[in-house]
């Protein structure tokens, strides 16, 4: 028994594949993403060189711009959306972020413990004599 097509006129797309769109729309999306990412990069350089922000707040402004740029990359270049086919992509991204966080936090923890457990320099110098 052949089941009828649930949505006539709409081609089914395999999970993980982007929906069928014209090449002009695809290129336009990449160009918009490139312009936005380049603009955020230029603003970051301007903030560090200009007198627009109060000096202690520059690091906060750069962090905000970096998070915005990551969002632009995720949406325009990696095509991560809230659709049902993006669930696996979001889970893989979250796992990757977790691994990077564990590596960075573990490295900082090891370096802090090494610094704490080191002998003072004068005792190291006395051991070498």
Work out the number of other CB atoms within 10 angstroms of the CB of residue 24.
8
- Inter-residue contact 53 to 42 (CB < 8 Å): no
- The reply to whether 125 and 96 lie within a common domain is yes
The token pair at 14 is 């395999």
User: What are the CA-CA distances from residue 75 to residues 37, 46, 52 (Å)?
Assistant: 11, 25, 29
Give the number of domains in the chain. 2
User: For residues 11 and 19, what is the distance between their CA atoms, to the nearest angstrom?
Assistant: 9
Whether 97 and 71 share a structural domain: no
Predicted confidence pLDDT, tens digits, the chain (129 residues): 565 555 555 445 444 455 556 777 778 889 999 999 999 999 999 999 988 888 889 999 998 999 899 889 888 888 887 777 777 778 888 898 899 999 999 999 998 888 778 878 888 788 876
Which residue is listed with tokens 């325009």?
Answer: 76
Whether residues 114 and 93 share a domain: the answer is yes
Please identify which residue in the block is written with the tokens 């002009």.
Answer: 24
In a domain, residue 97? The reply is yes
The upper half-sphere exposure of residue 16, i.e. CA atoms within 13 Å in the direction of its Cβ, equals 4
C-alpha 79/C-alpha 19 separation (Å) is: 11
Structural domain span for residue 32 = 22-79
Q: What is the pTM of this model?
A: 0.59
> What does the angle CA 81 – CA 63 – CA 103 come to, to the nearest 5 degrees?
80
């Amino acid at each position: 028994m052949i089941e009828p097509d649930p949505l006539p006129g709409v081609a089914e797309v395999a999970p993980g594949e982007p929906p069928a769109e014209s090449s002009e729309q695809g290129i336009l999306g990449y160009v918009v993403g490139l312009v936005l990412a380049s603009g955020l990069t230029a603003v970051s350089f301007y903030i560090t060189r200009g007198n627009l922000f109060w000096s202690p707040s520059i690091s906060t402004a750069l962090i905000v711009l970096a998070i915005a740029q990551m969002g632009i990359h995720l949406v325009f270049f990696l095509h991560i959306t809230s659709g049902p086919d993006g669930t696996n992509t979001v889970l893989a991204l979250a796992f990757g972020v977790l691994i990077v966080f564990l590596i960075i936090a573990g490295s900082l923890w090891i370096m802090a413990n090494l610094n704490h457990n080191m002998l003072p320099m004068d005792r190291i110098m006395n051991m070498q004599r």
